[in-house]
Amino acid sequence: MTEYYLGFSAVLFALGTLGVIVRRNTLIVLMCVELMLNAVNIGLVALAREFQQIDGHIYVFFVMTVAAAEAAVGLGIVIGVFRNFVSTEKESIASLHG
């Protein structure tokens, strides 16, 4: 049964990676990063259940904390870029280097 969860996790992670590479809209890229983090969480929980260890569940809490911080900071940056450039494309953010 664990193989199915790990396979599902790998498919979700691959879709998230493909979305980060292919998409140009920054909001979509942030959602794809969240999808990748959730795929890692599924894998960690599946392996923790398989090996009867609590460590995987603890790591999931850390990953969820990082995901929440990434969403808050990333969304703040996107809103700031949108106010200045009226666009959420990756090229708008790339032009901010100084």
Minimum mean pLDDT among 37-41, 66-70, 74-78: which range? 74-78
Domains of the chain: residue spans and CATH: 2-94 (1.10.287.3510)
Among the listed residues 4, 13, 97, 94, the one whose alpha carbon sits nearest the alpha carbon of residue 26: 94
Confidence of residue 90 (pLDDT cuts 50, 70, 90): confident
Return the SS3 of 25.
strand
Q: How much is the average pLDDT of 65-80? A: 90
Residue 89 has a pLDDT of 82
At residue 98, the pLDDT reads: 59
Q: Is residue 37 within 8 Å of residue 66, measured between CB atoms? A: yes
39 token code pair: 């795929």
